[in-house]
Amino acid sequence: MQLAENTALLIIDVQKAIDDAVWSKEGPRNNPAAERNIAQLLNVWRRSGRPVFHVRHDSTRPTSTYRPGQPGNEFKLEAQPVNGEPIIAKKVHSAFIGTDLEVRLRSSGISTLVVAGVITNNSVEATVRMAGNLGFTTFLVEDACFTFARRDWRGILLSAEDVHAMSLANMNGEYCMVVTTEEVLSA
């Protein structure tokens, strides 16, 4: 795995809202070390001077834990932006829809992305699919993402690990290359 000097780290929706019990009503999340892995990636990116983009979900739904003006909209401690790191505010699942993310990346000459964040099978997957469709070389850090248990179409409860694994399988090789934190840090 090779990463260009201007490879951007894209951190999706790592906000306090994700800790609300509403998300884990069907069962616990997977990857309990995801935030620690995200913090490691951020530390390395900052030390190397590579670009970091933070995506913040600003939900327009009145009942959303991600709605602006409440504590859930704030970034989690492990993913706090620092001065100079752009924040991309989105209202839908993909960080490319209704935002200037693509323009910012292209105007900065960025063609490779390393993606981490939440929820694997929701905003992460929507963003990674779009990045792949737009021609960005995309690496998805599987242990720096997480999701929750979910019922499938037939009502069968799937564990968070199974939901995560299926989402990764849907994306790997077509929209992105799935990697681990260790693989990225070694690159």
What is the tens place of the pLDDT at every residue in 123-135? 999 999 999 999 9
Reported as a single tens digit per residue, the pLDDT across 19-33 is 999 999 999 999 999
pLDDT at 25: 92
What value does the CA radius of gyration of the chain take, rounded to a whole number of Å? 15
The answer on pLDDT for 49 being more than 90 is: yes
- Locate all alpha helices (DSSP H) within 22-98, ordered by sequence: 34-48
pLDDT confidence of residue 5 = 85
Note the pLDDT of residue 64: 93
What is the pLDDT at residue 36?
98
Cα of 142 vs its chain's centroid, Å: 10
Taking the model in full, what pTM does it have?
0.96
Sort residue 33 into left (φ over 0), alpha (ψ -120 to 50) or beta: alpha
Residue 34, exposed/middle/buried by CB under 10 A (0-12, 13-18, 19+)? Answer: buried
pLDDT beyond 90 at 4:
no
Q: What SS3 state is found at 4?
A: coil
Give pLDDT, residue 165: 98
pLDDT digits (tens, 9 = 90+) for 58-70: 999 999 999 999 9
Domains contained in the chain, CATH given: 8-186 (3.40.50.850)
